[in-house]
């Protein structure tokens, strides 16, 4: 939760959000509701970033982010092949996963490392692109404190998956290391109650 007056210069975002068109019955932009629809158009980003994370915010993140993944030249083909006919199931699993991570929902049933074992053909470039899209989506949707609730575990998971897939001697690509370091440096200061 963001507390008034606790913003610091370090809590600035990487970019400013663009306006959004929200439907009346949902907090999801109309183009982010189902796996069959495209990513949110940049003109539809929320006008105000989300400060408090709840289930709807997690769902918005997952659907928006994976819409962008589907449209990405590098990641789209990988995900479309792996999830053919199973997008909706994957999106619900990712909502459960991120809800478990940031909300403590304990709904996710699975093993992240095991789920990614079939993808040993991926490269550091794939992980770098995934992270860049994820962080950009976080930046556009969430206030910095809320974004970091997702960003910190994403960094740890990405590093762990790469070590598992590529071996302990694997070194993160320089561009990815620079991205991760820049995100870590922007970590908001936490207020202790």
Domains of the chain, each with CATH number or no CATH: 18-185 (1.10.490.10)
pTM above 0.85, yes or no: no
Residue 23 has pLDDT above 50, yes or no: no
Cα Rg of the chain, angstroms: 16
Distance CA 161, CA 183 (A): 18
Residue 21 has pLDDT above 80, yes or no: no
- The model's confidence at residue 2, banded by pLDDT at 50, 70 and 90, is very low
Question: Cβ–Cβ contacts within 10 Å for residue 157, how many?
Answer: 16
Percentage of the chain exceeding pLDDT 90: 39
Task: Work out the average pLDDT over 147-169.
Answer: 89
Q: Where are any strands of DSSP class E within 64-164?
A: none
Question: Cβ–Cβ contacts within 10 Å for residue 102, how many?
Answer: 18
Q: Which residues pair with 142 in a beta bridge?
A: 50
Q: Is 142 helix (H, G, I), strand (E, B) or coil?
A: strand
Distance of CA 169 to the CA centre of its chain: 27
- The model's confidence at residue 4, banded by pLDDT at 50, 70 and 90, is very low
Look at 24-28, 57-61, 67-71, 109-113 and tell me which has the smallest mean pLDDT.
Answer: 24-28
Q: Quick one: pLDDT at residue 22? A: 30
- The model's confidence at residue 3, banded by pLDDT at 50, 70 and 90, is very low
Residue 181 has pLDDT above 70, yes or no: yes
Distance CA 150, CA 99 (A): 10
Counting every residue, how long is the chain? Answer: 193
Is the separation of the CB atoms in 6 and 191 below 8 Å? yes
Number of H helices, E strands in the chain: 7, 0
Distance CA 60, CA 119 (A): 26
φ and ψ at 50, to 5 degrees? -80, 130
Q: Quick one: pLDDT at residue 191? A: 61
Q: Is 52 helix (H, G, I), strand (E, B) or coil?
A: coil
Mean pLDDT of the chain: 76
Between 115 and 143, residue with greater pLDDT: 143
Between 91 and 11, residue with greater pLDDT: 91
Q: Quick one: pLDDT at residue 143? A: 94
Residue 55 has pLDDT above 50, yes or no: yes
């Amino acid at each position: 939760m963001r507390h008034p007056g606790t913003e610091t210069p370090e809590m600035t975002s990487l970019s400013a959000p663009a306006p959004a068109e929200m439907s009346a019955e949902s907090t999801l932009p109309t183009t982010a509701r189902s796996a069959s629809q495209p990513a949110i158009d940049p003109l539809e980003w929320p006008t105000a970033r989300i400060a408090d994370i709840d289930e709807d915010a997690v769902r918005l993140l997952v659907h928006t982010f994976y819409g962008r993944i589907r449209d990405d030249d590098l990641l789209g083909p990988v995900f479309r092949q792996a999830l053919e006919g199973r997008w909706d199931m994957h999106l619900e699993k990712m909502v459960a996963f991120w809800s478990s991570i940031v909300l403590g929902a304990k709904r996710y049933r699975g093993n992240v490392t095991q789920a990614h074992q079939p993808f040993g053909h991926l490269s550091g470039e794939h992980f770098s692109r995934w992270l860049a899209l994820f962080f950009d989506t976080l930046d556009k949707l969430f206030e910095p404190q809320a974004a970091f609730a997702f960003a910190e575990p994403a960094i740890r998971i990405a590093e762990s998956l790469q070590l598992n897939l590529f071996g302990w001697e694997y070194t993160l690509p320089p561009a990815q290391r620079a991205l991760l370091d820049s995100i870590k440096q922007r970590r908001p200061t936490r207020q202790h109650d």
